[in-house]
């Protein structure tokens, strides 16, 4: 089996009495693009800083290529970091910024200049080599910061919310640049972000954190379709989450559930066990719910339209049941407009049994 490039082995970090990162166990493999995602204060940046050597773990061990690196200074590790504010040197021009790391390593002037220029060409910045940093656009400065980090050809690159200062259109373009570079070079990327769209668009695996704790690790698709608990389901959004009670076992992987929304079947995720009468948390993705103006065999409940949110190709519809419960439904705009729904209108919602998921935790 392939050995991991990075290992967090029961790593804990606290600042005084405040626990920033609870015991973390995480393996990152060569060539992976791993995104660490969570809201402000969840511990994602502290995790990245520990890997970069800017913060020291309070306990546990971090290994890089099998070597314990807890006590190594940042400059003793091959873990360059692209900062959120880029941290480019304003007193150096573009090519001088890129070759800075090579100069610190003692590379001869001619050799480092040649290599720096090669990286600028690779990132379509060759014509800006002698330009002042202040004369570049946000996207150009971003690519200079990438070139400065990659010119030393590290085995791993750390990125701390590098796209947060860019506008939406430029951010999408830079996502393509980053993923293209990562795949071409085969370098491991560890990317910290609060943006789900960035993480899900680029990463092979996503680590979701909350209050210093890892809530779930998996591919973007797996996390979206099978969140482990209510926090993850709410964090990725577009989920209807409610309590239920197990009434019985229907067939392989399906259970009969009693809930505030009525009785229906729900899927039990692999490895999860339940008992009759057990209280469980059920999740139904808004995108998995169908709407009709007349009841059908698949209808589970009815409700009135209390709001809608138009998002271009999709529409989020909000329903309220007779008992005052709310349900979010996401439908393609064409399907929704074909129904010609109006606020206050009664509609019927339905979903396939397997689309109702019993969560692993609450």
pLDDT in tens, 33-47: 999 999 889 999 999
Interval 295-324 mean pLDDT: 90
Interval 317-333 mean pLDDT: 92
179 pLDDT higher than 60: yes
**Most distant CA pair in the chain, distance:** 77
Interval 297-307 mean pLDDT: 90
> Rounded CA gap, 296 and 129, in Å?
66
Q: What is the pLDDT of residue 78?
A: 85
Does domain 6-225 fall under CATH 3.40.50.300? My reply is yes
Q: Which fold has domain 230-358?
A: OB fold (Dihydrolipoamide Acetyltransferase, E2P) (2.40.50)
Mean per-residue pLDDT of the chain:
91
> pLDDT category, 1, cuts 50, 70, 90?
low
Interval 52-81 mean pLDDT: 93
220 pLDDT higher than 90: yes
Q: What is the pLDDT of residue 104?
A: 85
Interval 63-79 mean pLDDT: 92
Q: What is the pLDDT of residue 55?
A: 95
> Rounded CA gap, 217 and 36, in Å?
9
Interval 45-60 mean pLDDT: 96
- From the list 177, 157, 167, 178, the residue with the least C-alpha distance to 79 is 157
Weakest-pLDDT range from 4-13, 136-145, 217-226: 136-145
Q: What is the pLDDT of residue 256?
A: 94
Domain ranges of the chain: 6-225, 230-358
* pTM listed for this prediction: 0.89
234 pLDDT higher than 70: yes
Per cent of the chain over pLDDT 70 is 99
Interval 210-229 mean pLDDT: 95
| 77 conformational bin, left if phi > 0, alpha if psi -120 to 50, beta if neither | beta
Interval 303-330 mean pLDDT: 92
224 pLDDT higher than 90: yes
345 pLDDT higher than 80: yes
Q: What is the pLDDT of residue 88?
A: 86
- From the list 98, 48, 100, 105, the residue with the least C-alpha distance to 75 is 105
253 pLDDT higher than 60: yes
Long-range contact list for 307-312, CB < 8 A, 24+ apart? 307/343, 308/336, 308/341, 308/343
């Amino acid at each position: 089996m392939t050995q991991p490039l990075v290992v967090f082995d029961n790593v804990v970090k606290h600042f005084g009495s405040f626990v920033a990162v609870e015991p973390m166990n995480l393996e990152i493999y060569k060539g992976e693009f791993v995104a660490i995602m969570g809201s402000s204060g969840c511990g994602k940046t502290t995790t990245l800083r520990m890997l970069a050597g800017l913060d020291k773990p309070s306990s546990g061990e971090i290994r890089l290529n099998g070597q314990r690196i807890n006590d190594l200074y940042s400059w003793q590790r091959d873990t360059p970091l692209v900062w959120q504010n880029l941290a480019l040197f304003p007193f150096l021009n573009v090519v001088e910024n890129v070759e800075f790391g090579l100069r610190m390593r003692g590379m001869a002037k001619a050799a480092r200049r040649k290599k720096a220029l090669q990286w600028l060409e690779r990132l379509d910045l060759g014509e800006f080599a002698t330009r002042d940093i202040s004369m570049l656009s946000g996207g150009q400065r971003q690519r200079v910061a990438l070139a400065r980090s990659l010119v030393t050809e590290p085995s791993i690159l750390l990125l701390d919310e590098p796209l947060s200062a860019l506008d939406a259109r430029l951010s999408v373009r830079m996502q393509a640049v980053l993923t293209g570079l990562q795949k071409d070079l085969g370098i491991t990327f560890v990317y910290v972000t609060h943006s789900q769209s960035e993480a899900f668009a680029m990463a092979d695996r996503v680590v979701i954190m909350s209050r210093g704790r890892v809530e779930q690790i998996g591919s973007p698709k797996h996390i979206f379709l099978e969140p482990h608990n209510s926090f993850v389901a709410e964090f990725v959004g577009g989920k209807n989450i409610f309590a239920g009670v197990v009434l019985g076992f229907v067939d392989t992987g399906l259970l009969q559930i009693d809930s505030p929304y009525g009785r229906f079947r729900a899927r039990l995720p692999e490895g999860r066990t339940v008992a009759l009468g057990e209280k469980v948390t059920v999740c139904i993705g808004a995108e998995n719910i169908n709407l009709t103006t007349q009841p059908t065999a698949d209808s589970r409940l009815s409700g009135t339209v209390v709001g809608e949110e138009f998002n271009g190709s999709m529409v989020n519809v909000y329903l309220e049941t007779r008992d005052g419960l709310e349900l979010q439904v996401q439908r393609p705009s064409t399907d929704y407009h074909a129904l010609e729904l109006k606020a206050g209108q009664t509609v019927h919602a339905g979903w396939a049994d397997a689309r109702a998921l019993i969560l692993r935790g609450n």
